[in-house]
Amino acid sequence: MMNEGFIYLDHAAATPVDPLVLDSMLPYFSELFFNPSSPYAQAVKVKRDYTEAKRRIAQNLGVQADELVMTAGATESINIAFSAARGKILVSSVEHSATLSAAKKAGDLIKIPANNRGRISPESLSRLMSPDVTFVSVGLVNNELGTVQPIEDIGRIIEVERQRRIASGENNPLIFHCDASQATALIDIKIKRLGVDLLTLSAAKVYGPKQVGLLWVKPGILLAPTIVGGGQENGLRSGTENVAGVIGFATALELASKRRSGERQRLQKMRDQMAQSLSQEFPEMIISSDSKKGLVNFLHISFPGLDAERLIFWLESRGVMVATGSACAANKGTRSHILEAIGMDDRAIQGSLRISLGRLSTEENIENATRLIIEAVNLEQARVR
């Protein structure tokens, strides 16, 4: 993987395709290019390889292959999931904009509040629960703060409400969706344990190709297709299958399984060291990522009174790539709704950096990055004083 001349601190926005992932994809572009629906043996082999890749993905997640709907990425998966949502919809206030947009399109969005680390409490979900809620959506790992949500506890509360509805003869469905896109590189997801009905994943966040994702659908959950046509993916998502992409996704998940525990240790050590050095230098710095309960590759820091955009441009000129917030929000020039949701004030939001480590991080480049961030902040502080 290329890592020369720059220091990449934005693995939450995009991950490079692992060379082994690309190798597994390459035969399916120009050689095994056949339409998986064609009748002759060579096409049947392609279909078999595609099905086998789905089986490998399913095994990795502890589910069945025919429960997976392969999509063109997390955003599409989320949109298909929300086809089951109507009326009152509970969504955590710190979700990715794709989830918030899908919820607004589907029904009445009610936001579940989060604490100052972006964590929602099962109790606050309990308080908002009512007989007319049909759909709950909470992401496993927050994309700006790395906060890991208590999905299993939330699942239990939802199950209690379901049992109450059954006992009282109510037949309003209650479906639980989890966007786990940010999690797969570092968390071993066994879907059944989470207690969810629908789960979204993205290959692009786990060193796989962009525009490849999946939606796991618990048997019995009825969804409406967003794209109709040839009837692929059990009729839920028509279109000639992305054979190369899905095979790349399978390889990426298997590589993540092998490397996860080593990577967690490696990244946590570097992340903690960076956090410590920066805290020592800048006691006024706010850390909003949770060093204990958050994902170990995230470090979210705020310097109230500074302009993070200026920090980013200075760092970029030294080869350091870092984000102010999610890429989507950055692109639209809007303030992070996630930082607003955790009660951060404007001055702190304006001075916020999201740092996310990953496979391109090395001890050396993290040390250099730390030194350069210190230099950048010192320069900016001198300028605004």
Residue 1 touching its own copies (CB under 8 A): yes
Site for its own copies in 158-187 (CB under 8 A): none
User: For residues 201 and 220, what is the distance between their CA atoms, to the nearest angstrom?
Assistant: 20
Q: Where does residue 239 rank: exposed (0-12), middle (13-18), buried (19+ CB within 10 A)? A: middle
40 binds its own copies (CB under 8 A): yes
Least CB distance to its own copies at residue 207 (A) = 9
Query: Shortest gap between Cβ of 215 and its own copies (angstroms)?
Result: 12
Least distance in Å: CB of 371 to its own copies?
Answer: 18
**Binding residue for its own copies, selected from 86, 87, 116, 229, defined by CB under 8 A:** 229
What DSSP character marks residue 346? H
Q: How far apart are CA 192 and CA 256, in angstroms?
A: 19
Q: Does 210 bind its own copies (CB under 8 A)?
A: yes
Q: Which of 139, 146, 155, 209 binds its own copies (CB under 8 A)?
A: 209
Residue at token pair 């702190």: 348
78 lies in the binding site for its own copies (CB under 8 A): yes
CB of 307 to its own copies, least distance (A): 13
Smallest gap, in angstroms, from Cβ of residue 220 to its own copies? 23
Catalytic residue among 43, 286, 328, 330: 328
Round to whole Å and give the CA distance between 164 and 158: 10
Q: Is 368 in the site for its own copies (CB under 8 A)?
A: no
Residues touching its own copies: how many (CB under 8 A)?
Answer: 71
Q: Which of 18, 144, 233, 290 binds its own copies (CB under 8 A)?
A: 18
**Contacting range for its own copies; rule: CB under 8 A; set: 75-83, 130-138, 278-286, 376-384:** 75-83
Contact between 379 and 314 (Cβ < 8 Å): yes
DSSP string of 123-163, one letter each residue: HHHHHH--TTEEEEE--SB-TTT-BBP-HHHHHHHHHHHHH
Which of 331, 289, 357, 248 is CA-nearest to residue 15?
357
Please give the residues from 100 up to 159 whose contact with its own copies meets the rule CB under 8 A.
101-102, 104-105
Question: Smallest Cα–Cα separation from 318: which of 5, 2, 53, 19?
Answer: 5
Region binding its own copies by CB under 8 A among candidate stretches 5-13, 57-65, 277-285, 372-380? 5-13
Measured in degrees and rounded to the nearest 5, phi and psi for residue 101 equal: -65, -45
Span of 54-62, 76-84, 140-148, 287-295 interacting with its own copies by CB under 8 A: 76-84
Q: Do 368 and 360 contact (CB within 8 A), yes or no?
A: no
For the segment 45-74, give every residue that binds its own copies (CB under 8 A).
72-74
| 328 catalytic residue (yes or no) | yes
Which helix (H) or strand (E) element contains residue 58?
Answer: helix 41-61
Answer yes or no: are the C-beta atoms of 207 and 255 closer than 8 Å. yes
For its own copies, which residue of 144, 161, 197, 241 counts as binding (CB under 8 A)? Answer: 241
**What is the closest distance, in whole angstroms, from the C-beta atom of residue 354 to its own copies in the complex?**
11
Does 13 help bind its own copies (rule: CB under 8 A)?
Answer: yes
Q: Which is nearer to its own copies, 209 or 294 (CB)?
A: 209
Residues 314-343 close enough to bind its own copies by CB under 8 A: 316, 321-324, 327-328, 330-332
Taking the complex as a whole, the smallest distance from the CB of residue 69 to its own copies amounts, in Å, to 13
Tokens encoding 144? 């700006």
Count CA within 13 A, CB hemisphere, residue 305: 10
Complete edge-to-edge strand list for the sheet that includes strand 298-302: 286-287, 298-302, 352-356
> Could you give the CA distance from residue 293 to residue 365 in angstroms, rounded to a whole number?
25
Residue nearer to its own copies on the CB measure, 161 or 200: 200
Residues 280-319 that bind its own copies (CB under 8 A): 309, 312, 316
Closer to its own copies by Cβ: residue 5 or 262: 5
Residues with catalytic annotation?
328
